[in-house]
Structure 1
Amino acid sequence: MINDVMADIEQLFQHFGDKTYGEACSQLTHAISSAWHAQQQQAPQSLVCAAFLHDIGHFIADQRQMAGLDQWGHVNHDVIASDWLQQQGFPASVYLPIRYHVQAKRYVARTMEPSTLSKASFQTLQQQGGPMTDDEALAFERLSGFAEAIELRRYDDLGKPCHTIDVSITPWLALTKQVLIGN
């Protein structure tokens, strides 16, 4: 089963990793850049894995040609990814931050200048409901996994613009497999 899951993940990156969904770099480069930043900040391995896989819901939606897919990807890519990763046997420490990383963007957007977001992030923020209200923010702060979702969001933002790094997927797939085996 683990080898099948890993083959599916690799295949998704092979088929859809070159897409940009409106960003300045490919999704593969963004995934690796986000994970690299998490690793450099000595995040737990599960959060590094989450940083690598956080946008895989776009690929799943693209593969399945799901309604709601547009030039920016899929508006519900967070939930699509989280549900799929949970079904594949990943631990909550991977799929919950992914589930909440869009909400984390809405939370963080309450206090930031819109100009700090990439064009694609600004556009998708509008699709995702805009910045959170105070009541939404209070409810979000109470969720299990809130802190990890905020950290994942930070790594997501650090992965844009994509920095020049080694874009070999091999070490990130190996890390992902270790996290999956460890569950």
Structure 2
Amino acid sequence: MALTLDDIQHLFDTHGSMAYSGEPVTQLQHALQSATLAEQAGASRELIVAALLHDLGHLLNQQGETPTERGIDDLHQYYALPFLRPLFPDAVLEPIRLHVDAKRCLCAIDASYHARLSADSVRSLQLQGGVLDDEAAHAFLARPYAQDALALRRWDDEAKDASRVTPDLPHFMEMVAGVARIAD
């Protein structure tokens, strides 16, 4: 079943106030901050939409407060894709799908990256397979949309500031509608 634009709005309206897994922001604040950072970086509309929607799987497959503390990897990077695939091009979907492996890759290729991860991101890293080895990191970097996924990952990591001011959801939902294949 595909999500509509109204369904996406409803998910944020209904579940956006949930805590973002052990971080000082809500799910909606995290999404808006990720999209804002992408927009400020001059990213494409598709990548800004990916930044907004990258954790939608958490809202679709709710596992309670801080599932990593209970040893749960909710596979959120994959969970939302079947719902989003009919609506969005690969330029939106692939960075979402790859953003977890991008964290694993950045830990392998950037010596200072791991030290900047939040406690929850460190826990989830282990549940998600740990740091990629050199061969796997090289293979990841050769994939289509890998660079977009790396950028999304860095915005994801920065989007945990309870005091950051962002545009509101309607600002980004206009962009979502602009890149969607189907209008509501």
Q: Work out whether the TM-score is over 0.5.
A: yes
Which TM-score tier does this pair reach, normalised by the shorter chain?
Answer: 0.7 to 0.9
Identity %: 33
Distance in 2, matches of 1:123 and 1:170, equals 33
Name the counterpart of 2:16. 17
> Structure 2: how far apart are the matches of 1:48 and 1:178?
11
Q: Report Cα offsets for 1:41-68 as digits up to 9, x if no partner.
A: 1100000000000000111112xxxxxx
Q: Is the contact made by 1:78 and 1:99 (CA closer than 8 Å) also made in structure 2?
A: yes
Moved over 6 A (4+): none
Residue 157 of structure 2: aligned partner: 157
Change (3 A) 1:130 1:18: same
Shift in alpha-carbon separation, 1:178–1:39, aligned structure 2, 3 A: same
**Which residue type is aligned with residue 155 of structure 1?**
W
Look up the match of 1:79.
78
**Aligned residue pair count:** 174
SS in 2 for 1:132: coil
Long gaps (5+) in structure 1: 63-68
Q: CA deviation at 1:155?
A: 1.4
Deviation at 1:160, TM superposition (A): 2.4
In structure 2, the partner of 1:65 is none
TM-score normalised according to structure 2 size: 0.86
1:117 pairs with 2:111: no
Q: What value does the CA root-mean-square deviation take over the aligned residues?
A: 2.1
Rounded to whole Å, the distance in 1 between the matches of 2:80 and 2:130 is 21
User: Where do residues 1-183 of structure 1 align in structure 2 (5 Å cutoff)?
Assistant: 5-20=4-19, 21-62=21-62, 69=63, 71-72=65-66, 74-86=73-85, 88-110=86-108, 111-166=111-166, 168-181=168-181
